Amino acid sequence: MSYSKTLRASLMLMLVMLMAAACTNVDDTEPKATPTPAAVKLFTVVPQVYLAGYMGADQQNYFEQENLTSEILFTHSALELDFSEVLAKVAAGEGQFGIASADSILVAREQGLPIVAIASIYQEDPTAIISLEAKNIHEPADLEGKNFIVWSFERPLRLFAHVAGLDMEQVGVVYPPEGSTAQGATMFITGQVDGMVVDWTASAVQATAGGVVFDVLTFSDFGFVGYPCLLFTTEDMIQNQPDVVQHFVNAFVRGMQYAVEHPDEMLTWFVENYNDDLFPQQRVTDPKVMEAIAPFIAPSDSQPGVMVETTWQAIHDQMVEAGLLTATDVGQAYTRQFVNAYYKND
């Protein structure tokens, strides 16, 4: 059964959606009850609503309560949501924590970067293809013979093509000049391409104004599995500073819980702190945006921060089968000890 929605959205609202972006098995030694005061840095690509956990923790002084001083730094990687620079900076010790996708973490580990996922941010993947209504793209098979703007979503597209049984050689991949969001959107609106691969988080709520009629094909409705946003650190941090990792996870997960429960407050905080750092088309103004991301952060059958072994294994297997990863022990790429300890002590 295909999954397709037809929504009306203005170009500016659509562009918000474009940028929404998105371990070794160590011993389970309990971290110190009261850590030495520590200053930590979190790297991510751009300010966006997936930072709800950090926003909640910062606004409610949860980091301070965990004896931490936290700073967030943005790589602004060509506005492509490319996690490679974030991963490299944390692996090099420029920061202690970062945000990246599961597939990016697995590839980075294969390349020798000793980074480890420690908590989920989005537990479900909102990656989708949007296309003009006239393009008649409703099923995976409709992608063949057409061209799509991908920005940094080429790997998810290739994974989706594999899962859906498509010939990727028949699916065109287009990168706008210099990753320009505006140019890419223009190419989409004018029909120069057949669609765009995007992060669909919260955009259904925002798409309320008249303008462009387009369809949405959501990858997860056809068997695609992913963790698009994860909190990660390094093997060294886990082995040598587990107390700092634990207290950062405590604050972050608690912040996600607060953000889910207080969406309007979080949006106000985001606008006050980050909207000036964004291009106009990236700015978030609809209070329902925060409400819309809640199911990704805290699905009805889960809790914020939780990662599932079967999901990680499915991501790994899909990547190996698609030729995007060499088979490895996926259990080394993540650890659940810190989130488990948080809920044990919560």
Average pLDDT value for the chain:
81
Is residue 284 packed enough to be buried (19+ CB in 10 Å), middle (13-18) or exposed (0-12)?
Answer: buried
Tens of pLDDT, residues 27-65 = 444 444 446 788 999 998 877 777 888 988 998 999 999
Cα dihedral across residues 160, 166, 168, 170: positive or negative:
negative
Q: Which fold has domain 4-18+125-222?
A: D-Maltodextrin-Binding Protein; domain 2 (3.40.190)
| pLDDT band (50, 70, 90) for residue 79 | very low
Neighbours of 71 (CB within 10 A): 12
Tens of pLDDT, residues 95-150 = 999 999 999 999 999 999 999 999 999 998 888 898 888 899 999 999 999 999 88
Neighbours of 304 (CB within 10 A): 27
Q: 């429960």: which residue's tokens?
A: 261
Order of strands, sheet of 68-74, starting from the edge strand that comes earlier in the sequence = 68-74, 38-44, 97-100, 229-234, 115-122
Q: What is the DSSP string of 215-230?
A: EEEEGGGGT-----EE
CATH of 37-124+227-345, one of 3.40.190.10, 3.30.530.20, 3.60.20.10, 3.40.50.1980: 3.40.190.10
pLDDT at position 284, please? 54
pLDDT at position 178, please? 63
* Intervals of CATH 3.40.190.10 along the chain: 4-18+125-222, 37-124+227-345
To the nearest 10 degrees (0 to 180), the angle between helices 288-297 and 52-59 is 110
Neighbours of 161 (CB within 10 A): 21
Q: How far apart are CA 52 and CA 99, in angstroms?
A: 12
262 residue type, one letter: H
pTM exceeding the 0.85 threshold for the entire prediction: no
